[in-house]
Amino acid sequence: MATLRRWDVAAIEEDDAVASPEEESAAPTGVRSGCLVALALVALGAAVVVLIIWLWPSGDSHVDIGRVEDYRPGSVVYRSTDGFFVATQPDGSVLALSDIDPHNPPGRRTCRVTFRPDLGVADETGRFFDGCTGSLYDIGGHALSGDGFDLTRLAVQQDEEGNMKVKPSR
């Protein structure tokens, strides 16, 4: 009978430590915790996207601008957060005019129109002025000088109680 030397015993123990193919297939094949975390993060991200889409204001929102009686004839009120002017004509009718320059060619920064009471002549309450092109517009948004384009009119809707709403262009 052969005697085992110390290095032979170490080699046998090392061979026993290597798993046989049968033992490998018996190992658990469950889902790892990292995969569960990733799946939870994807589900959370999808839920956030759905929530944002659901809560985001829809494109058909209108801005309540009050009643005709709230505006003095010949007055102009700037709704800066909504991007338009409420211009009451001398006859009492109400117009909503966009504050964006009607002649904004591609590549040029967006210019905004301002209302300037100091530019009014005779009995005018003022004029709209475009600092980018130097264009002037009357209180009805009609071009008086400059590029020749009128200011963009936004639809004003009035309900049966007299409340007015405007759909901003932005």
What does the longest C-alpha to C-alpha distance in the chain come to? 128
* Span(s) in the chain for CATH 2.102.10.10: 63-166
Q: How many CB atoms within 10 Å of residue 117?
A: 10
Tens-place pLDDT, residues 78-128? 988 888 999 998 888 999 999 988 877 666 678 889 999 888 888 888 899
- In the structure encoding, which two tokens stand for residue 124, read together? 């005018």
Q: Beta partners for 69?
A: none
The arithmetic mean of pLDDT across residues 30-37, rounded, is: 77
- CATH number for the region 63-166 comes to 2.102.10.10
pLDDT at residue 13, rounded to an integer = 56
CB 147 within 8 A of CB 136: no
CB 87 within 8 A of CB 94: yes
DSSP 3-state of 46: helix
DSSP 3-state of 24: helix
Kindly give, in sequence order, each residue whose CB lies less than 8 Å from that of residue 116, ignoring residues fewer than 6 positions away: 126, 127, 128, 129
Cα 130 to Cα 151: distance, rounded to the nearest angstrom:
10
Q: How many CB atoms within 10 Å of residue 129?
A: 17
Reported confidence tier of residue 9, pLDDT bands at 50, 70, 90:
low
